[in-house]
Structure 1
Amino acid sequence: MQSPSSDTVTPEEPPVPAETVRLPERGFTINRNKALIAAAVCWAGWAIMVYLVTHGKTGSFDEMGLLAYRTGDELGPRGSELLLESVRDLTSLGGVFLRNLIAIGAVAALLFLKLRREAVLFALTVVGGWIANTAVKSLIGRERPEIVPHLTHAGGESFPSGHSFSAAVVYIGMALAFAALSQRHSVRYTIIVAAMVLSAMVAWSRVMLGVHFPSDVTAGWLGGAGWAFLAAALLYKPAKAAADSPTAEKLDPATD
């Protein structure tokens, strides 16, 4: 209640003492066999896309995808200006600044939730994904599409899509980390599937903006998702060892 003669607000109930607040217990650890199966499926799809692109077999698929969002003689974007701005906002989630800002925030949140193992694993996944994407992009040179006008600036090689790869790595990797907070299968799968859908939407936004072929974003997303699941399986033990080390415990902001 607020007194008429004072600006001080008095709560109706006393605040909960900090020492009585309990963080949620870790619900599960990543099933490495399932993660390896998911990674194998994604990497198999990625390998197929690489073969099709390098052998010039994606022409009709690429052209159809690029023209789907265009209309008129000048091949302008379909729909309202609001739709175009929404697509640009969506694609920014895979951009370097916002994507890395979200990743750093997620690592900090995991540390404050006392999930050091998941924080280290997620950080290693993101860094490893950046290295993998850079290596793959340098191996396959491809010019960006000129079929339709570009609706945003983009530079560098076209295949595979860096936005698509990195969005899949960050958002799927983040979902795998935060899924540890729930003991319910339905909640964990919902979080992971939602991250997969969001990252796929970021990937397709690059096609809608005309700066990538559909085959670019398909390969990029499959490669990024494959890396996120592969890292969850292969880097789990190193991440656990690093998280349980005395140095990590001293640096943990959630440690009193």
Structure 2
Amino acid sequence: MHRSDIVQPEVAPLPAETIRLPERGYSVNRRKALVAAIACWIGWAVMVWLVTQGKTGDFDRSGLLLARFGPDFAFDGPNWIQEAVRDTTALGGVFLSTLATIGAVVALLFLKLRREAVLFASSVFLGWMLNNTMKALVGRERPEIVPHLTIADGASFPSGHSFASAMIYIGMALAFASMSKRHSVRYTLVGSAMVISAMIAWSRVLLGVHFPSDVVAGWLGGAGWAFLAAALLHKPAKSAAESEAAEHLDPTSETHRQKRAMRH
């Protein structure tokens, strides 16, 4: 049996030259992004003040005990829910969030959205530096009120999972929103990213490794940075994307293909 006999297309495939990539129908409204960023950063500043002044004790304790019961503070729920919480929190971990970032950048490049790829990659890199700086400045210890249901180390405030998930998934949604001119599609993408990142953030509390104030501040900081980067890094990213260096590094560019053909 020939390979061609195994899988047969139902219709004739389109010639390569007839396929068109989607146009860049949307450039983020930088004024709206800046307003969203300011709102998030104001909330973040409030949380920093409350934490450093020791005013979140009742809020933090209530949040940590919300899903615990008994004298040993065991998780209140069936095993599959606990496993689902662990799966959710993994989406904000270094390994999976890095894979998601790399995959998104590669996809944006192949979709000829080089400006969005540069903007997204640079915002994630700078965001990680920003979050680590905030952790070092505050230096809060992790909660010991309830048993930890996953391994966690380092400073507690702000939550790195919360910051990273908001920064990466909201930033990713803003980048891919450029493929649609419809407001409903763009708002659905960004809204879904906000919900998913909020779920990742709260999973850290359910696992007992972060105070609620850690994840609120982390999520606000990550979301604020994603919107701020979209508003302020747009022009630098555009200039970098149009540079000769980016042309040579982009695996989808004509220059890159010509150089590869010459080597072979």
What is the TM-score normalised by the length of structure 2? 0.93
Distance 1:12 1:163 in 2: 45
Partner of 2:246: 248
Deviations 1:39-60 (A, max 9, x none): 1000000000001001111011
2:198 pairs with 1:200? yes
Partner of 1:114: 112
Partner of 1:75: 73
Letter of the structure 2 residue corresponding to residue 166 of structure 1 = A
Distance 2:90 2:249 in 1: 32
Deviations 1:36-81 (A, max 9, x none): 1101000000000001001111011001100011112211111111
2:198 pairs with 1:185? no
Partner of 2:231: 233
Aligned positions of 1:23-172 closer than 5 A? 23-172=21-170
Distance 2:7 2:213 in 1: 59
CA RMSD of aligned residues (A): 1.4
Partner of 1:19: 17
- Structure 1 unaligned runs (5+)? none
Distance 2:119 2:8 in 1: 43
Letter of the structure 2 residue corresponding to residue 186 of structure 1 = S
Letter of the structure 1 residue corresponding to residue 106 of structure 2 = A
Distance 1:62 1:86 in 2: 23
Distance 1:11 1:155 in 2: 52
Percent of residue pairs identical? 68
Letter of the structure 1 residue corresponding to residue 196 of structure 2 = L
Deviations 1:97-145 (A, max 9, x none): 1100100000000000000000000001100101100111100011111
1:27 deviation in Å? Answer: 1.5
Over 3 Å counting, the alpha-carbon distance change for 1:12 and 1:208 in structure 2 is closer
Letter of the structure 2 residue corresponding to residue 74 of structure 1 = D
Over 3 Å counting, the alpha-carbon distance change for 1:9 and 1:178 in structure 2 is closer
Is the partner of 2:25 in helix, strand or coil? coil
Query: Number of matched residues?
Result: 253
1:17 deviation in Å? Answer: 1.0
- Structure 2 unaligned runs (5+)? 255-264
